[in-house]
Amino acid sequence: MILSAGTELAIATNEHLANISNTLIYSAMAVYTLAFFAYIAEWLFGSRSKVARTASALTNGTQKAKGTPAVTVKKAGGTAVLERPKVVVRSSTGSRDVPDGPGAHGGDAQGDLYGRIAISLTVLAFLIHLAGVVARAASVERAPWGNMYEFNITFSTVAVAVYLTLLALKKNVRWLGLFLVTTVLLDLGIAVTVLYTASDQLVPALHSYWLYIHVSTAILCGAVFYVGAAGTLLYLFKDSYETKLENGGTPGRFATSFLERLPASSSLDKFSYRLNAAVFPLWTFTIIAGAIWAESAWGRYWGWDPKETWAFITWVAYACYLHARATAGWKGRKAAYLALIAFGCWLFNYYGVNIFVSGKHSYAGV
C-alpha cells in the first residue's frame, strides 16, 4: 500500500512538472510576442536610410572599373585635400563594392532604443523558454527530445541561443531579430497545437547515452543551419536590390526602407557561408553517431531507413554547397539556391519523414 501511494505521488509530481513546463512555454510565447512588436517598432521608427548610400557606392565602383578615381577635392587653408571614399566590402563575385547598412534601427537613437528593448525581451523569453524545456526534462527524468513536440521546443530554444551568442560575440546580427522571433513563434505555435505530446517515457530503443549525443548535435546543427538559411534568404533579396540599382532601376519604397538597412549582399553571403561551413563537420559527426547508435539498438550501422537516407541526402546537399561556394563559377546566387535546397532537405528530414514516412524512427511520435 505504501509503495502504491509512493508511485502515485511520483506520477503526480511528474504531471505537475509537465504542467509547469507547458505554462512556461506559453509564457515564453507571450514575451516573444512583445519582442516581436519591439522589433517591428525598431524597423518602423528607426530612420529610413536613403537609397543614395548604395547607389553612390555602386557609382563609385563603376568609376573605379573605368579607371576614374572616386575622389572628392576639398580646399583647406588654400591646400587641396583629397577625401577618399569610405572603405566598403568586396562582394563574393567581385563585381561591386557596397557598404553595410546601418541596421534595423537605421542609425537612429529612437530606433536603437526599441532595438535594445527587443533584445532584452528576447533574452527574457529565452530564459523562460529554457526553463520550460528543463521542466519538461525533469517531468520524465530524461533528455527533452523524445518526440517531435520536445524536439521543436528544444530546437527553437537553441536557435535563439545561437542568435544571442552571435550578439554576445559583438556580431552585427540584430537585423535578424525580427525574422528569428517570428519563426520561433510559428515553431512554438505548431508545437503546442499540432505536435503536442503528453509527457511520457521513452521506448526501450531510445534508452541510451547516444540519445544525448546524437540528438543534441542534430538539434544544434539544425539551429545553425536555420540561422544560415535566414541569412541566405536575405542575401538573395539584397543582391536583387543591389543589382537593380546597379542597372539604373528604382526599387520600391518599402524595399528601399527595409533592404537599405541590411548588411551588403557580400556580408550576408559570407555570414551564411561561415555558419554552414563551421557546423558541417558537426553534422558529419551527427550521422556517424547515429550509425553507431543504430548498430547498438538494431544490430546494423546503416539500413537506408528513411531518416537515415534523408540525413545523408542533407549531408550531400551541404557538401555540394560548400564545394560550389569554394568554386569561382558557383559563388553568389547559384550557391545560395543550393544552400536553401540543402536546408529544405534538413526540414523534410525532420517534418516530412516523421509525419509522412514510416520507418524505424517512427517511434518519435507526433
Q: Which cell is 128 given?
A: 523562460
**How large is the angle between the packed helices 333-347 and 216-246, nearest 10 degrees?**
150
**What pLDDT, on the 0 to 100 scale, is given for residue 122?**
97
Identify the band that residue 6 occupies on the pLDDT scale cut at 50, 70 and 90: very low
Q: Which residues of 58-75 are buried (b: 16+ CB within 10 A; e: fewer)?
A: bebbeeeeeeeeeeeeee
Do residues 329 and 277 touch, judged by C-beta distance below 8 A?
no
**What pLDDT, on the 0 to 100 scale, is given for residue 316?**
96
More confident residue, 56 or 87: 56
Residue 1 lies in a domain: no
Domain span including residue 342 = 13-53+97-364
Residue 3 lies in a domain: no
pLDDT in tens, 119-129: 999 999 999 99
Q: Which cell is 42 given?
A: 525598431
Residue 301 lies in a domain: yes
Q: What is the mean pLDDT of the chain?
A: 81
Residue 171 lies in a domain: yes
Identify the band that residue 330 occupies on the pLDDT scale cut at 50, 70 and 90: confident
Residue 357 has pLDDT above 60, yes or no: yes
Residue 137 has pLDDT above 70, yes or no: yes
Residue 252 lies in a domain: yes
pLDDT in tens, 10-65: 444 488 888 999 999 999 999 999 999 999 999 998 877 655 566 556 655 544 44
**What pLDDT, on the 0 to 100 scale, is given for residue 85?**
42
Identify the band that residue 362 occupies on the pLDDT scale cut at 50, 70 and 90: low
Residue 82 lies in a domain: no
Domain count, the chain: 1
Task: Tell me which of 56-60, 90-94, 179-183, 270-274 is least confident.
Answer: 90-94
Task: Tell me which of 18-32, 73-87, 212-226 is least confident.
Answer: 73-87
Residue 263 CB neighbour total at 10 angstroms: 24
**What pLDDT, on the 0 to 100 scale, is given for residue 222?**
94
**What pLDDT, on the 0 to 100 scale, is given for residue 315?**
95
Residue 6 lies in a domain: no
Residue 5 lies in a domain: no
Task: Please tell me which of 104-113, 180-189, 242-251, 318-327 the model is most confident about, judged by mean pLDDT.
Answer: 180-189
Residue 8 has pLDDT above 60, yes or no: no
**What pLDDT, on the 0 to 100 scale, is given for residue 4?**
40
pLDDT in tens, 270-327: 999 999 999 999 999 999 998 898 888 777 888 888 888 999 999 999 999 998 888 7
